Amino acid sequence: MASFQIQCDQDSAFFFNPNTHKCIGYLTSLGLTSSLAADILVTVPFNAGVTPAHFTGFQKQATGPTGSAKIVGVLDTFSWAGGTGDAILLDFWVSQSNAMQLKNLSQTLMNTAKVNALAWWIGDYDTQAKAWYEKAYPVAGSVTGLLQGKANAALNVDLTPVPAEAGIDVNVYKISLSVGPAANNQYSLVFANSSSQKVVQSWGLVAGT
């Protein structure tokens, strides 16, 4: 059984540099008792004539090989052991407003609270093909699940401000989230190692299968 551990580059995700080609990842949607605001504006690269079709909220610019999107958070790491019942672990950075909302929720939510409309998009650069490709995303656009873990393991909010980039007076806040599948919900997750090689894995358990 394959496992998936993806490290994303925070600096490139917050402030895209066309001269670097590092893995970038975004949390495009997250709902607990309510949906978090997509309040971070980012630049997203794409290839000539080919836009990232599975990026929720992507807006192509009129000219040039980039677009833009409002996102909930910038991904640091994505981890999944690969089993249909294994939790998806996400570390990501959010605005102060979203961090405070999550901190308040973390003190009241049960560890098995429902997670709604969880969506992510990870892009990387194929150095041989010289092209960007979609590295990881849920086929359905988003998934639902349950917080999974004990104490602060399911939803951990660090309110220590960290500059989004050195020398920039914009602070972000680290969130760790563990989401397990809800009963009778199964989703297809895409993972790619290059622009031409990808696999589709099932996540979630359905009764009778």
Q: What is the DSSP letter of 95?
A: -
Q: Residue 209 pLDDT > 60, yes or no?
A: no
Number of domains in the chain: 1
pTM, whole model, 2 decimals?
A: 0.94
The chain-wide mean pLDDT, for the chain, equals: 92
Domain assignment present for 156:
yes
Please give the Cα distance from 113 to 104 (Å, whole number). Answer: 14
168 versus 175: which is more confidently predicted? 175
State the pLDDT at residue 63.
78
Domain assignment present for 96:
yes
Domain assignment present for 196:
yes
Domain assignment present for 79:
yes
Please give the Cα distance from 94 to 174 (Å, whole number). Answer: 7
| pLDDT average, residue stretch 23-28 | 97
Say how many CA atoms lie within 13 Å of 18 toward its Cβ.
8
Range of the domain at 50: 4-203
142 by Cβ neighbours in 10 Å (0-12 / 13-18 / 19+) ranks as middle
State the pLDDT at residue 167.
67
State the pLDDT at residue 174.
98
Q: What is the pLDDT of residues 32-68, one digit of tens each?
A: 988 999 999 999 998 877 789 999 889 988 777 889 9
Domain assignment present for 49:
yes
Q: What is the pLDDT of residues 94-108, one digit of tens each?
A: 999 999 999 999 888
State the pLDDT at residue 52.
92
User: Are the beta carbons of 199 and 2 closer than 8 angstroms?
Assistant: yes
Domain assignment present for 208:
no
